[in-house]
Amino acid sequence: MSPTPAAARYGDPDARLDVLNDVVRVQLAHRSVRKFGPREVSDAELAALIAAAQSAPTSSNLQPWSVVAVRDPQRRARLAALAADQQFIAEAPLFLVWIADLGRARRLAARAGAAVDAVDYLETTLIGYIDTALAAQNAVVAAASLGLGTVFVGAIRNRPEEVAAELQLPQHTTAAFGLAVGTPDPEERADVKPRLPQEAVLHVEQYDADAADGHIPVYDERLTAYNARFGLRGNWTDRVIARLKGPESMAGRDRLRETLHRLGLPSR
């Protein structure tokens, strides 16, 4: 018997939700898809994903993002090479590069002869990334509801200047993350990855670190069991430490602050 959506999400046979509907069910069933079938993503599907993305909230209606839809196989191969050689980028029929875009505001202000100096501050860079993420997540859920699989690619931030050159990005814009999109290959060995117990992330009225962190050991056990199913070793704690060890674990992204400055996002 399949586990319930909540049991799969938490890797906990006792986990349950008393409120559930078809939309939340689509969300709970999320998994990353890195193997794709040959079917193209149609223009009509792409339009639905982008309309969903544009329907996400955006700070003061600034809409500070753009997206580049890459289908050209050579360009996808070049982007894969720039993003840690992840071959699924070259294999997915559609690769969306989501752009934190403060350039549109800069350009419209220039046309109006006005200043938009707030663009130079870290706060506005953050709005760019946040609003891009809100939009992209709507596209992810829309894709899942249409039977399409996706996976985010943070490695597009490994070499942002070369990505900017490849996509002809103007000043004051940068690739926030990629999203590979396609029909899931049913042969892929992958499943819903368990998350931290809800008690580890949800605080009531005030943050209680001791109470929350007390739920990490059981999660370490659940993730060890999950990883073992795919021949992988290590618990969550070990993997977080390995990932955040230091600049040497960041694939060049320790230089992102300087790179963003050169791209016109000084983030002061």
CA distances from 142 to 48, 57, 93, 107 (A): 8, 15, 17, 31
- Least distance from C-beta 226 to its own copies, angstroms? 10
**Residue position matching structure tokens 């005030």:** 206
Q: Hey, which residues between 6 and 25 contact its own copies (CB under 8 A)? A: 6, 9-10, 17-24
Residues 224-243 that bind its own copies (CB under 8 A): 236-237, 239-241, 243
| Residue 115 C-beta: closest distance to its own copies, Å | 6
# of chain residues touching its own copies (CB under 8 A): 129
Site string (118-147) toward its own copies, x via CB under 8 A: xx-xxxx-xx-xxxxxx-xxx-xxx-xxx-
Q: Are 118 and 267 in contact (CB under 8 A)?
A: no
- x-or-dash pattern for its own copies, window 182-201, by CB under 8 A? -----------x-xx-x-xx
Per the CB < 8 A criterion, the answer to whether 95 and 175 are in contact is no
What is the DSSP secondary-structure string of 132-185? HHHHHHHHHHHHHHTT-EEEEEGGGGSSHHHHHHHHTPPTTEEEEEEEEEEPBP
Decide whether 173 or 183 has the Cβ nearer to its own copies: 173
Residues 39-58 that bind its own copies (CB under 8 A): 42, 44-48, 50-52, 54-57
In whole angstroms, how close is the CB of 197 to its own copies at the nearest point? Answer: 9
Distances (CA, A) of 31 to 28, 205, 208, 224, 250: 9, 31, 29, 18, 24
Residue 112 near its own copies by CB under 8 A: yes
Scanning the structure block, which residue is given the tokens 């670190």? Answer: 209
Q: Please, which residue, 72 or 161, has the CB nearer to its own copies?
A: 72
Q: Residue 231 or residue 246: which is nearer to its own copies going by CB? A: 246
Minimum Å distance from CB 31 to its own copies? 9
| Torsion sign (Cα): 123, 126, 132, 137 | negative
- Judged by CB under 8 A, the chain residues 201 through 220 that form the site for its own copies are 201-209, 212-213, 216
Contact 108, 174 (CB under 8 A): no
Q: Is 262 in the site for its own copies (CB under 8 A)?
A: no
The 3-state DSSP class for residue 69 equals strand
Site for its own copies in 56-95 (CB under 8 A): 56-57, 59-63, 65-72, 75
Smallest CA-to-CA distance from 150 within 66, 41, 51 is with: 41
> Cβ closer to its own copies: 91 or 131?
131
